[in-house]
Amino acid sequence: MKESRHIFLKSSILTIALQLFLQCMLYAQDLHFSQFFSSPLSTNPANTGFIPDADYRLGIHARKQYSNIMAIPYKTFSAFGDVQILNNKLNNGWMGVGMLLLSDVAGAGNLTSNKIYASIAYHQMLGNSSLLSAGFNLGWANKSINTQNLKFPDQFDGDFFDNTLPTSVVLQNNAVNYFDMQAGLNYAYFPTEEIYINFGYSIHHVNRPKETFFSSNATDNIIPMRHIGFLNAIVKLNDKVIVKPNLFFTTQANATNFVAGSVLNYNLFENGDKQLIAGMYYRWNDGIIPMLGLHLKQLECIFSYDITRSDLKKYNYGNGAAECSIIKKGFLPSSQPRQSLCPKF
């Protein structure tokens, strides 16, 4: 009996320690997707209206993480839409406008984040083979927590954690709201119809908003600015194969995230209406991310799975996160025929 209690105690402490560790990770970093290229507006607001092969796009994105080690896994969802405007009004340039919705629920306390942003960007052609873009977004964020399902160290009675016992942990607020702003730059270079290169840089939380459930006077309640840099390329090898290598790097406070890899589009029919998508990415010091998808005319769907290779695999047995994205692109009825800026089948 004593041995079983001891095992249970170790298991409980390990579970709580792991939850605290994951919560710290969540606090240190903003919401993120392994398929960063499928979430363009959350990566960089200068991507708003930056659509080389269409006039508009709509997308949804879902991620489920730590489902095998937490009773309530982390769930992240996003939806976005953007469109090019003033194509025929500006000299070799256009504007992009869009909306972005982010939602996340984490842990037993239902730590919930809901954010909505309006984005705008300007895109200017530089000659016939390059493009410079600048954009920003402004949004409203709400974060809330339910403490009824949380257990704190001073609620341990020697055998179990009992959340009916009083605790010294008192939150001043169970919900916070604030304005948030991001800004970014993009540059694209497309010397031929077979090569396209794009890199960008963005800063998030440039207005340095405060976010806390405790005292609002502390200086460490300010959300650290997040810096994101990325490099994309699209190379058409032949009439059957297009490769799309990517690099993504972000840093916030003391947390960093580096992802590198590539997807390959294989043309199943001559006109490119049906394509098979497959790829592999690596997140530094964390794991590998295989991807598989399908491109059908103007609709693209990609599924990926994070396979943990870091020390965390001792607890989640390598099972990280499942992720799925769906993006629809199209042309407006009033759109004038134009050549795509990136390689196509």
Q: Which run of H or E residues covers position 4?
A: helix 2-28
Residue 16 DSSP class: H
Residues facing residue 93 across a β-bridge: 124
Lowest mean pLDDT among 104-113, 275-284, 302-311: 104-113
CA distance 96 to 122: 6
Looking only at the bridges linking them, the beta strands covering 74-85 and 111-125 are unpaired
Q: Which run of H or E residues covers position 119?
A: strand 111-125
Predicted confidence at residue 290, as pLDDT, reads 96
What is the full DSSP assignment across 105-163? Answer: EETTTTEEEEEEEEEEEEEEE-TTSEEEEEEEEEEEEEEE--GGG---GGGB-SSSB-T
Lowest mean pLDDT among 78-87, 120-129, 245-254, 318-327: 318-327
Predicted confidence at residue 233, as pLDDT, reads 95
Is the pLDDT at 273 greater than 70? The verdict is yes
How does residue 25 score in pLDDT terms, banded at 50, 70 and 90? very low
| The two three-digit tokens of residue 194, written as one number | 């077979």
Predicted confidence at residue 214, as pLDDT, reads 72
Indicate the pTM of the whole model. Answer: 0.82
How does residue 261 score in pLDDT terms, banded at 50, 70 and 90? very high
Please state, in angstroms and as integers, the Cα–Cα distance from residue 12 to each residue in 15, 26, 85, 145, 158, following that order. 5, 21, 56, 22, 12
What is the full DSSP assignment across 48-68? Answer: TT--TT-SEEEEEEEEEE-TT
Predicted confidence at residue 310, as pLDDT, reads 65
Q: What is the largest CA-CA distance in the chain?
A: 80
CA distance 343 to 123: 19
Amino acid letter, 172 = Q
Predicted confidence at residue 315, as pLDDT, reads 56
Q: What are phi and psi of 203, to 5 degrees?
A: -120, 125
- Which of 274, 250, 255 shows the shortest CA–CA distance to 33? 250
The pLDDT tens digits of the residues spanning 307-344 come to 887 666 565 555 678 999 999 999 988 776 666 777 88
How does residue 27 score in pLDDT terms, banded at 50, 70 and 90? very low
More confident residue, 285 or 2: 285
Is the pLDDT at 264 greater than 90? The verdict is yes
125-152 average pLDDT score: 86
User: Do 181 and 141 form a contact (C-beta atoms < 8 A)?
Assistant: no
Lowest mean pLDDT among 26-35, 101-110, 171-180, 290-299: 26-35
- The percent of residues above 70 in pLDDT, for the chain, comes to 75
Predicted confidence at residue 338, as pLDDT, reads 66
More confident residue, 224 or 220: 224
The count of residues in the chain is 345
How does residue 297 score in pLDDT terms, banded at 50, 70 and 90? confident
Is the pLDDT at 64 greater than 80? The verdict is yes
Say whether 42 sits in a helix, a strand or coil. Answer: helix
Lowest mean pLDDT among 139-148, 193-202, 311-320: 311-320
Q: Which run of H or E residues covers position 12?
A: helix 2-28
| The two three-digit tokens of residue 57, written as one number | 């796009």
Predicted confidence at residue 26, as pLDDT, reads 40
CA distance 165 to 136: 47
Considering the domain delimited by 2-330, tell me its CATH architecture.
Answer: Beta Barrel (2.40)
The pLDDT tens digits of the residues spanning 171-197 come to 777 788 999 999 999 999 999 989 999
Amino acid letter, 301 = C
Predicted confidence at residue 163, as pLDDT, reads 65
Residues whose CB falls within 8 Å of the CB of residue 28, separated by 6 or more in sequence, listed in order: 252, 253, 254, 255
Is the pLDDT at 218 greater than 80? The verdict is no
Lowest mean pLDDT among 71-75, 140-144, 160-164: 160-164
